[in-house]
Chain A
Amino acid sequence: MTCFAIQTNRLRKVYQGELGQKDYVGLEGLDLEIPAGEVFAFLGPNGAGKTTTIKVLMRLLRPSSGSVMINGVSNTQHQSMERVGYLSEQPNIYGYLTAREFLDFIGKLFGLAPSVRRKRIDGLIGLVGLKDRDRTLIRGFSRGMTQRLGMAQALMNEPDILILDEPLSNLDPVGRKDMRDIILSLKAQKKTLFFSSHILHDAEIVADRVGILDHGRLVQTGTMQELMGSGLKTIEIIYSIPEAGESVLGLSRERIVRQGDRTLTWTENMESAQEILGKLLKNGGKVFSVTPQRQSLEDLFISRIRG
């Protein structure tokens, strides 16, 4: 039997309603199978249940039914977390500690020896770019700095599996780049990565496979190619042409968008695009851009969730 890095079996989570309120089904029949070494992007709109899933994986919430296996070990056992690194959504960290003190504490929770902790802390502080703030109190950290420290603590045990809840949010452009670089280097090290996001661009760059969650149910999973391959492609052309030449192109009215002297049109395939371009040039038109539009994950996402 092959053993998945992360496997869930008919996972269901019901949030018990407080006095007088109705119960809320946060997850329903979730089956996930993430092989070792895969980068899996867990996508879904706000409130889809991504954080709920991750908290169940991390033993913070108990599933109402179903089970979770991490590297073949049930996560009801605390030892299953030995090789896992976890970054929570918008992490909060004890304000009365310094970054160093916190990482040392986390190292102790993993049962690491003092010398190992010291060496790893030095490396991680550098990796996440907190070198000159490692001895100041976390109380004074910005969200982005806390996020960086959160990433450092997730790597403290040199995990094989990383479970990251919205690792790229709360960061400025530099922070996003740094974090994405870290994720890419983890991918290069063949670590299993499971990360949630509602920003699809993040997934497009790093993920091998994507799962789309909505209202607590997995509505689609597949590799990037599978999901994108089915996408309808269009080619956009932006041009300008003297008034008289317009009719020569033979474009239908609903395919013409004018903006000042520039016009946008689009077509479904390369052949007709080339034909239009030819006519344009012959009739004294100017071409500003030709852009193939593959269907983005964004579109797919919206069509899956609306549909």
Chain B
Amino acid sequence: MKWPAIASLTYKETIRNRILINILLFAVALIALSLIIGDWSLGEQAKVIKDFGLSAMSLFGLLIALFIGIRLMVQELEQRTIYLVASKPVRRWEILFGKFAGLSLTLLLNVILMLLALWAVDWIIEKRIDFELAAAVVLIYVEILLIVAFALFFSSLMSPTLAAVATLAVFIAGHLSPILRDYVQLHPGSGLKKLYLAIYYIIPNLENLNLKMAVVEHLERPPHAVGMGILYGLLYLSFVLTATCMIFEKKDLK
């Protein structure tokens, strides 16, 4: 197994890449927000902080996944650093998977630190730790991984700019996809029904990975929401990664 070596290299590369600044920014934003809403009722304060915190985590994660994910392989090819790696007795998929795993580790650290910051600020307000937040964060992390996989997939097929647009489109469509399904159910005669359904089935339903509202508002969650979300996300992920590996396997490293 050679991919762990590539993963640890990628981790090393990406961890120094603005990740700490990102976490700092996140913490500062949280604290600033908590000061602004300082005279609201405690319950309201906690709600707003959690809502903002989880949304920001999702957004920051998305941006890092998108930009670093797309650069991950593209940079290796552009700078030709890949030559001395891909010419070793290593399978191509191990290079790709190693890259993915390394960035995943960086993002995991990132998400954990953000969660700790959120817990700290929430503790100052509520004087208790809301462990429910972790449930939402786990699924946010799975979503981020899925975005990395799509970024890798698209960047192996098209220019970095196009790949960024395509990945972003998947993200947006993924959150809208349940709306499409509902629309089709409400208007069964719609002419574009097949297209909508196709989009619904091809694009991952990212709302399956969204527990933010449920956690913040203490709503009742569907049973096994976290477990099913993880399963759904990882299945989809392995699908996208496998496809990307197959493309990369045949690719000329010019």
Cα-based distance from A61 to B80 in the complex (angstroms): 13
Cα-based distance from A7 to B85 in the complex (angstroms): 23
Cα-based distance from A79 to B253 in the complex (angstroms): 19
A96-B16 in contact (CB<8A): yes
* A109 close to chain B: CB less than 8 A: yes
Query: Taking the nearest CB of chain A, how far is it from the CB of B128, in angstroms?
Result: 42
* Chain A CB within 10 A, most for which of B9, B87, B89, B254: B87
* B41 close to chain A: CB less than 8 A: no
Chain B residues with CB under 8 Å of A153's CB are: 84
Q: Mark A74-99, 1 if CB is under 8 A from B, else 0.
A: 00001111101010100111101100
Q: A96-B16, A105-B9 are in contact. Are A88 and B84 (CB under 8 A)?
A: yes
Query: Taking the nearest CB of chain B, how far is it from the CB of A1, in angstroms?
Result: 24
Report the nearest A residue to B12, measured CB to CB.
A96
B87-A58 in contact (CB<8A): yes
Q: How large is the interface on A (under 10, 10 to 19, 20 to 34, 35 or more residues)?
A: 20 to 34
* Chain A CB within 10 A, most for which of B9, B83, B86: B83
Report the nearest A residue to B253, measured CB to CB.
A60
B13-A108 in contact (CB<8A): no
Cα-based distance from A209 to B87 in the complex (angstroms): 25
* B218 close to chain A: CB less than 8 A: no
* A10 close to chain B: CB less than 8 A: no
Report the nearest B residue to A52, measured CB to CB.
B254
- We find that the number of chain B residues with CB closer than 8 angstroms to chain A is 23
Chain B residues with CB under 8 Å of A82's CB are: 89
Chain B residues with CB under 8 Å of A84's CB are: 87
Cα-based distance from A142 to B247 in the complex (angstroms): 35
Cα-based distance from A8 to B51 in the complex (angstroms): 63
Q: A92-B80, A109-B2, A109-B5 are in contact. Are A61 and B89 (CB under 8 A)?
A: no
Q: Mark B85-100, 1 if CB is under 8 A from A, else 0.
A: 1111111000000000
* B182 close to chain A: CB less than 8 A: no
Which residues, 215 to 253 on A, are CB-close (under 8 Å) to B? none
B5-A78 in contact (CB<8A): no
* A126 close to chain B: CB less than 8 A: no
A106-B253 in contact (CB<8A): no
Q: Mark B69-88, 1 if CB is under 8 A from A, else 0.
A: 00000000001111111111
* A44 close to chain B: CB less than 8 A: no
Other-chain residue from B79, B88, B253 in contact with A81 (beta carbon distance below 8 A): B88
B254-A61 in contact (CB<8A): yes
Chain B residues with CB under 8 Å of A111's CB are: 2, 89
B89-A78 in contact (CB<8A): yes
Q: A78-B89, A105-B5, A109-B88 are in contact. Are A61 and B252 (CB under 8 A)?
A: yes
A108-B5 in contact (CB<8A): yes
* A110 close to chain B: CB less than 8 A: yes
Q: Mark A131-154, 1 if CB is under 8 A from B, else 0.
A: 000000000000000000010010
Report the nearest B residue to A149, measured CB to CB.
B84
Query: Taking the nearest CB of chain B, how far is it from the CB of A88, in angstroms?
Result: 4
Chain B residues with CB under 8 Å of A80's CB are: 89
B16-A91 in contact (CB<8A): no
Q: Mark B27-52, 1 if CB is under 8 A from A, else 0.
A: 00000000000000000000000000
A106-B84 in contact (CB<8A): yes
Query: Taking the nearest CB of chain B, how far is it from the CB of A270, in angstroms?
Result: 50
* A59 close to chain B: CB less than 8 A: yes
B79-A92 in contact (CB<8A): yes
Chain A residues with CB under 8 Å of B90's CB are: 78, 109
Query: Taking the nearest CB of chain B, how far is it from the CB of A84, in angstroms?
Result: 8
* A62 close to chain B: CB less than 8 A: yes
* B250 close to chain A: CB less than 8 A: yes
A86-B89 in contact (CB<8A): no
Report the nearest B residue to A81, measured CB to CB.
B89
* Chain A CB within 10 A, most for which of B5, B13, B84, B250: B84
Instruction: Enumerate 28 A-B pairs (CB-CB under 8 Å) in ascending A order.
Output: A15-B254, A55-B83, A58-B83, A58-B87, A59-B86, A59-B87, A60-B83, A60-B86, A61-B253, A61-B254, A78-B89, A84-B87, A86-B84, A86-B87, A88-B80, A91-B83, A91-B84, A92-B80, A92-B83, A93-B81, A94-B9, A96-B16, A97-B12, A108-B2, A108-B5, A109-B85, A109-B88, A111-B2
User: Chain B residues in contact with chain A, CB under 8 A?
Assistant: 2, 5, 9, 12-13, 16, 79-91, 250, 252-254
User: Chain A residues in contact with chain B, CB under 8 A?
Assistant: 15, 55, 58-62, 78-82, 84, 86, 88, 91-94, 96-97, 105-106, 108-111, 150, 153
